[in-house]
Structure 1
Amino acid sequence: MLRTLLLGLGRAGAGLHLPVLARARATHPELFAGRPVVGVDPGPRPLPGGPPGTGGDPLVIADSLQRARRCLDPDVTVVHLCTPPDVRAALLEEAAQLGYRRFVVEKPLAADRAALRRVREAVDRHGLRVEVVSPWLHSALTDRIAALLATAGQVRSVSVTQDKARFRRSLTGGTHRHAFEVEVPHALGVLLRLLGDGEVCAASWSDLRLGERVVPHMGGARLALRHRGGARGLVDCDLTSPVRRRRITVDTADGVRLIGHYPVAQDDDVARLDMWREGRRTRELLEDDALRRCLVAAYRRFAGDDPPGAAGCLGVHARTVELLEDARHLAAGGTIPRLPRPGGPAAPGPLEARRAG
């Protein structure tokens, strides 16, 4: 059974991973050791949801990685790297030098291609096993859409809408540098899974404004992709919306339309899928605690020394980093740098593989 070290105790670490770990440990005691989670925060801040050890998974705070190492055996510990993407490579290297080899890393995997190269170098040098947090890739809704499309006609387009109000966190100095880093990585992973690799052909962002206060590039983001085989991908994210929405729309050449709604709140984990075919609509409701599914899958692979599945493959997440950087360049009015991909192109999604066959 595996212990847990949370590195980073902000919104992702203490606000999301900690309560989800509590649910995962309750349903899969065979994977998780019945010992407290150990947390280290490189930049101390108040913990959301109350003090450590209350209202959720027991948490013991260590003041440094070295102190945490004294009570956690790296051979049976999974490190959750929940820090901002621009410092992730350095902390991954520091933890690896202390003997840790299993990592769950928050999305995006790195801030840009340069940071991605440092992450890959650390992975190769220390023989690390890394799973990237990708709840949408482990989502029951995504699985259902992929299964339906496996027998459908050619996909013409997939569009994802990600709307929510994010004023306070952005105005108080959040860790994200631009809107492409907030919700868009979830959508890009799904597009790569369903449509295979693609290229960014258009991108834009907007500023977040409240009165006289302005946060550059944090109001929203939009990008369009051209995928192999001609399919179009679109991601539209509004971080000033009064309505929370996580919607995916798929259109095929033979007139089938799928509209899925991912859960938008932590306290309600049901997704909805509507399908229109030949003028008739059918509806499905799916239990979809996607982040718990993601973490359980990662721990199961770590416990059994299994290779990562498609959702945990670093190639998909590395390609997401590259596409996010390309989108940022285009949104800033520049051009996309044509750099060699150190790991080669991302593996084609299942639909691309089906077309190729």
Structure 2
Amino acid sequence: MLQPLVVGLGRSGSGLHLNTLGRLARRTAATGDPLVALPAVGCDPRAGGLRTLGMPGEVTAVTTLEQALQHVDPATAVVHVCTPPRLRHDLLAELAGHGFRRMIVEKPLAASADELDALIRLRQEAGLDLVAVAHWITSRLADRLRRLVGGGRLGSLRRITVDQHKPRFLRSLATDGHPSALDVEIPHSLALALDLAGPAELRAARCWDLRCEDRSLSLLGGAHVELEHRSGVVTLLRSDLGAPVRQRSVVCEFEGGTATAHFPLSEDDDHAQLVIAPFDSGTAAPSAGVLDADGVPGIGHHVFRDDALIDFLDGAYRGFASGAGGVGNFPLACATARLLCAARERCSVTPRARAGSR
């Protein structure tokens, strides 16, 4: 079994990674195939003042890496790097210096092209097995979209539109970990678009400010990103962090119809939905809401469980155990990070959109 070390106990580290690791440990132990060794170690300078983390006995909180080394062996550890992307290379280099090799890194990989290049060199020189968090890609919903794209039931894919909207006032006011809205939700949808439609070039990018009462937070109100894929597909990514409602939807437009995918909105419910509608109502297809023999979803409304993060971590840990943790994940993560860097550069010289623009 592998023991987790979670570095950074903000929303991502404590609210998502530690909680999910506890569930994964209990799930795999119950099936007789234990995967995660508890207690996990949570490391953050603020650890002493944080609320209770995880279930009793599942987490040991420390404030420094030196303290963490008293509780975890680098040879059997997986480090979850849940700190902000800025200056992440220095932290990874420090972890590598202590002997850690297996790492799961929160999105995006790096905040600049130079940092990304430095991280790639570090990975090669230190022999790191590095996986970027990309649970949208490994979700059951994304798998059904991939099968639909490859199956040809609705013809060729033509356009992807992703909407990721939520009110994020409190977290944006309380923390400064994300320099712009490009770093909050867009990495998830950008990676999915590249996975579905292949390599792409940036066509346009813009951000706007988040305004509330008498305050304005630069570039944190939302973002638009437009891509043109080599396959001919056009992608529009939209994220409004001042929206009054939550939305996580992906619309794939094909020659012969549309597929509208809805990702779970929060930990409150782990069900995804997929609505497939042909332009020709007479299109032959399996019964509504079912999969054919090749796993391609049929016409209609599909509703199914899709706890993507726990499945992602399950796959990552099994990959680490087999020695192939980041083999398929890392190239896509790098391509995503490079496009994000290009979008940041575009936003730094492009006039900002009006607040709330969609």
TM norm structure 1: 0.88
SS of the residue aligned with 1:136? Answer: coil
Is residue 229 of structure 2 the alignment partner of residue 227 of structure 1? Answer: yes
- The answer (yes or no) to whether the contact 2:41–2:68 under 8 Å persists in 1 is yes
User: For 1:134 and 1:45, how far apart are their aligned partners in 2?
Assistant: 30
Counterparts of 2:322 and 2:249, CA distance in 1: 35
- From 185, 200, 203, the counterpart of 1:201: 203
CA distance in structure 2 between the aligned counterparts of 1:149 and 1:56, rounded to whole angstroms? 45
Partner residue of 2:65? 65
- The secondary structure found in structure 1 opposite 2:245 is strand
- Answer yes or no: is 1:37 the counterpart of 2:44: no
CA contact (8 A) 2:156 2:254 kept: yes
Equivalent of residue 308 in structure 2, options 290, 294, 297: 290
Please tell me whether residue 6 in structure 1 is matched to residue 6 in structure 2: yes
Q: Which residue of 2 aligns with 1:145?
A: 145
- Look up the match of 2:273: 272
Cα distance change of structure 1 residues 31 and 332 upon mapping to structure 2, 3 Å threshold: same
Counterpart secondary structure, 1:244: strand
Write out aligned runs for 1:230-241 (5 A): 230-241=232-243
> Measured at CA, do residues 331 and 26 of structure 1 come closer, stay the same or move farther in structure 2, by a change above 3 Å?
same
Alignment of 1:1-357 (within 5 A): 1-29=1-29, 30-42=33-45, 44=47, 46-47=49-50, 50-53=51-54, 55=55, 58-152=58-152, 153-253=155-255, 255-277=256-278, 278-279=280-281, 282-306=300-324, 308=326, 310=328, 312=329, 314-333=330-349
Q: Check conservation: 1:22, 1:57, Cα contact below 8 A.
A: no
AA paired with 1:183?
E
Contact 2:48 2:63 in 1 (8 A): no
CA contact (8 A) 1:271 1:287 kept: yes
Supply the distance in 2 between the matched residues of 1:211 and 1:176 (Cα, whole angstroms).
Answer: 21
User: Which stretches of structure 1, 4 residues or longer, exceed 6 Å deviation after superposition?
Assistant: none
Contact map agreement 1:7 1:42 (CA 8 A) in 2: no
- 2:267 alignment partner AA: Q
Q: Is the 8 A contact 2:271 2:305 kept in 1?
A: yes
Distance 1:112 1:57, change over 3 A: farther
Structure-2 separation of matches of 1:26 and 1:211: 45
Structure 2: distance between partners of 1:39 and 1:198: 37
Amino acid at match of 2:128: L
CA contact under 8 A between 1:164 and 1:241: conserved in structure 2?
yes
Q: 1:227 to 1:45 in 2, by over 3 A?
A: farther
CA offset digits 1:107-153 (Å, max 9, x no partner): 00111111111211211111000011111011110000101111222
- Contact in 1 for aligned 2:136/2:308 (Cα 8 Å): yes
Find the aligned partners of 1:15 and 1:56 in 2 and give their Cα distance: 15
Kept in 1: contact 2:206–2:350 (CA 8 A): no
Amino acid at match of 1:90: D
Aligned residue for 2:294? none
The alpha carbon displacement at 1:224 in A equals 0.5
Question: Is the CA contact 2:318–2:325 (under 8 Å) kept in the aligned structure 1?
Answer: no
- In the alignment of these two chains, the number of paired residues is 329
1:58 CA displacement:
1.7
Say if 1:56 and 1:13 are closer, same or farther in 2 by CA, change over 3 A.
farther
Q: Please tell me whether the aligned partners of residues 207 and 216 of structure 1 are also in contact (alpha carbons under 8 angstroms).
A: yes
What runs of 5+ residues in structure 1 fail to find an aligned partner?
336-357
SS in 2 for 1:135: coil
Letter in 2 for 1:117: D
Deviation at 1:62, TM superposition (A): 2.0
- Write the distance in 2 (CA, Å) between the matches of 1:45 and 1:259: 44
Q: Distance in 2 between matches of 1:174 and 1:331?
A: 18
| C-alpha separation in 2, matches of 1:20 and 1:307 | 18
Find the residue that maps to 2:92 and give its secondary structure.
helix
CA-to-aligned-CA distance 1:80-122 (integer Å, 9 cap, x gap): 0000001311111101100011001100011111111121121
Q: Are the equivalent residues in 2 in contact too, given 1:4–1:38 (CA < 8 A)?
A: yes
Cα contact 2:48–2:62 (8 A) shared by 1? no
Distance in 2 separating the partners of 1:148 and 1:130? 30
Percent of paired sites with the same residue: 37
Distance, in Å, in 2 between the alignment partners of 1:191 and 1:284 is 21
Q: What's the offset of the Cα at 1:268?
A: 0.6
Which AA in structure 2 matches 1:333? V
CA deviation digits over 1:169-205, x for unaligned, max 9? 1112331000000000000110110110101111111
Contact 2:21 2:36 in 1 (8 A): no
* Matched letter for residue 191 of structure 1: A
SS at match of 1:84: coil
The one-letter code of the counterpart of 2:193 is L
Matched letter for residue 325 of structure 1 = C
Structure 1 position 211, deviation (Å): 1.5
